[in-house]
A and B are shown apart, each in its own frame.
Chain A
Amino acid sequence: MRAGISQSRTPINLLRWALFGFILAPLLAGCQAGSGRREIVAIPLFSTENLSSCEHVGMDEALAGKDLHLAWNGPPDGNAQRQIDLLNDAVSKHAYGIAINARSLYAANGVIREAISHQIPVVVLLHRLPLTPEEHLSFVLENTQTGAMLVARRLKQILPAGADVLLVGLDSLSAGGEDRFTAVEQALRQTDPAIHIANRIAGPPAISAFESAITDALAQQPGIRAIIALDSHAGYAAASVIHDTNAQGRIRILAFDQNTEVLASLRQGGVDSVVVQNMREIGHIAISNMIRDHNHQPVAAVTYVEPQLVTRDNIDTEAVQQILLMNWVQP
């Protein structure tokens, strides 16, 4: 004969689970609030441009095999307020880290400081901001001097002595605007003092405004032989004007920063050369900085990444194509 003991199902079980629920509910709510802790928020300047795609590739590569998720989103139109909204969201969900290519020199700095105060690693990309590197804040920047020198040497190579050039692009309130203006002017003085900057057009990245200004400048100063476009929108506007006025060959365009249209125009001969930023490398370093920060390893306060001058002669080389890689792998 065999006998056994069974467990009873008393109302106490109900009480027990109800009590568990009561105690665990706030804890679960806390877990929900902390769901951003494995998420890296990347806020590009223009979410859809080649410049940003390359950055995305570099970040994806750095995140391969790691238990981290990349939340990638930015304003299509370089809206500084939208960048601030995305930054605020990242801070409120306590992201693992934030990488931002800021539109405005000043607008996002308050939120960046707030993120740092919450121990969220922030990496500022491409253009410096008026913030001092500190714990949880690092910079991965273009080497502006190198880029400017590449342009100056190219101009000396392709222009006749004493030619007039037009400088078009970022305004002084855009991140990187003042730096590029200054660096290009200095590089031109050093490389070929005879080159004359006939006009400077600065403004926010509105293509049509650039087009109008360039058209007016070219009409007023027909001696202009080259346009130095300090950002991709200015580059597109310059290429558009040169295309519309059939001025290819007569007026050379040297543009900073890659986008698909400018590169297409380069292939067609509308643009002479492009200072391509190695955003793939910049994105990779940004992620590495965040991970090192979380692992309490030393992080370089400022890392400079060298740009490269791309012309029709070298655009199809493997080295350039690897920099311009727009998707890491086939999905």
Chain B
Amino acid sequence: MRTTEVLRMAVHNLWQRQVRTLFNLTGIVTGCVVLLMTAAGTYGTRNAIHALFDSSDFARQIYIFPGGFAWEEPPEGEIVIDAEMSEVRRERIRLALASQWNEARRNINPRYDISTDELDSIRKLPHVIAVVPEVTTNCSVQTDADSISSGITTMSIHSSTLRQSLLAGALPDAGDREGVLVDEFLAWQMGFRNDTDLPKLVGQKITIEYRVAKNRVANIYNSLAEKWGQLGVDDLQQQVQFLQTFVQLMGDLDNTSLNDDQKAQLRSLIGSGIGEPGATPDVLETREFTVCGIFHTGDSNPVAALFRQWFHIVRSGLQVHPDVALEIYESQSDANSFYNATVFVESSIFLREVTSALQAEHFNPQSSLAILEHIDIQIEQSAWVIYGIAIAVLLTASVGISNTLILSIVERTPEFGIMKSLGARDSHILKLMIAEGALLGLVGAGFAILLSLLIGACGQSLLKMYVESRTQTELAGSLFQFQLLPMVLVLLISVTLCVVASLLPAWRAARLDPVVAMRRT
């Protein structure tokens, strides 16, 4: 008996019992729709949240700091707990000792900076668009009337947020080294106060002086540590306090017991003028830039504002081409390293991959990853609860199918008897019954897919409107995103459950004695 004939007969039999088939299908369709909508909703919601985060550049950035420290298990024999105690307490003590061992290891080999070589290696990581070291330099803007203190920082040419915050002008071309963006407050300080004045600043040339500034805390500290050995101060905050105290003492350097060489070394290290109270740092260089745009530092995007707050992101009054910012930075310091850097990632979905790669290099990456992963986990946990309910519905439906098929054997016993008297094998009856079950699963899942697509299309706009009104945020993309894989899986689950449900009835039908069966005609 051909498979096509088995299927044809199965279709015929199901069609003959339309009401029963319809009831069976209802359970399957309900379960499958719940499964599909949950899968589509989970995927769509997750993507919408990622898109919301991606709308802010900050969510695609990873701020890296040196000093990331990888925990290691101490070597065997390093930790000995020679005491009588419970296993639980022994484990706690072991962890405490291992922590102590790791702490000591970190003190032996501290890291306070990121080298240019390391930045280059980070640039080669997959999904990394750019790596921009933080170079913030104090400077003054020279106007006809005044000299205004400000700061120069790297322009984030990859930042769409910066583009959105432009009040006048535009971002310079990628190769424009003379272009500068001016903060609206600096513009205000420069005398461009009315809204109509701001465009007038665009295209004007401004002169910027930058002076010998204090080296970065980390560099000074490292230099001191290099010359004098470990100072025993590891925490950054403590280092800052240490150096502040140190600079104050520099004013009274002559009264110390240091010899002249040591005093000279210190003065050279800290920078000219700093050791002398009231002294003004020397002008190192004067540069001229052309204003290409005015930007504001406020954030209309709530996600961006959130990240600015978390990561203490400060924008300086002036933003220049990254290479120029780097040149200025390097001209003030012989250090070829940086305290931190920003890694731009293609999309927030690659944050985990890039973060792991950075952690493997012992950096300390900070990003929105933890929040995104937390949200993803929450969505996934909710989805699994709904999946469970949907599977329960499907299981109930399959038990119903099994019951219906067993009942239908009683009704169809004469039919099976006749078929057997005509030469049908046990396997023919078995296949026929299983095919009926499989068809129920297949048709049910097929209907469910169509129904889900319909519900998704109709409910999408309503749900989006509701969510957007509740969150005051515009969501990108669809909240129900149907994927091929879940559809195939639902199809397989549905068919498998229905086939399993039909196995027992099929076996009972196949084993019917034809003589007994035909007597029931």
Partners in one complex: no
State the A residues within 8 Å of B (CB): none
State the B residues within 8 Å of A (CB): none
